[in-house]
Amino acid sequence: MNRKRILVVDDLQSDTRLLKQQLEESRNFDVHEENDPRAAVATAEKLQPDLILLDLIMPTMDGRHLAACLTASPLLKTVPIVFLTARITKEEVDAVGGRIGGYPFLAKPVLVRDLIACVQRHIR
């Protein structure tokens, strides 16, 4: 079985490392980390991921702006993006059907089973 490629973009290396570990333990995913949001578009174009997990709040570029840059790339416009944020709770995410601004969202900290279920639901 081909493992799906996931790019995790978060300014906190501890968060990307944890997500990588959690997803790769399922043996279904190849996870790549990017901790510099300004480099994320180039990294994604090179990697050609099947899905991007994207932190919403980052100091050098917020996730909404980065998502717009990612979807503006002809190479990435069809790649699903799932936002991760500690700014809202799981209950708030659930109350809006798991989507905000047209994008699926997960609240941090995310349970492994919820993370994998979300990735599997949205991966291309």
pLDDT tens sequence across 83-93: 998 888 888 88
Q: Which residues pair with 81 in a beta bridge?
A: 52
CA 123 from centre of chain: 11
Residue 48: count of CB within 10 angstroms of its CB: 11
pLDDT for 100 equals 76
Write phi, then psi, for 90 (nearest 5 degrees). -60, -40
**Cα(106)–Cα(93) distance, integer angstroms:** 7
Secondary-structure percent of the chain, ordered helix, strand, coil, rounded to 5: 40, 25, 35
Gap between the Cα atoms of 45 and 28, Å rounded: 21
Domain spanning 4-122: which superfamily? Response regulator (3.40.50.2300)
pLDDT digits (tens, 9 = 90+) for 38-47: 999 999 999 9
Mean pLDDT for 15-43 is 95
The alpha carbon of 62 is separated from its chain's Cα centroid by a whole number of angstroms, namely: 13
Mean pLDDT of 89-117: 86
Q: Is residue 102 very low, low, confident or very high in pLDDT (cuts 50, 70, 90)?
A: confident
Averaged confidence pLDDT in the chain: 92
Q: Quick: pLDDT tens for 51-100.
A: 999 999 998 899 999 999 999 999 999 999 999 988 888 888 888 888 87
Q: Read off the amino acid at residue 20.
A: K
Q: Are 41 and 73 in contact (CB under 8 A)?
A: yes
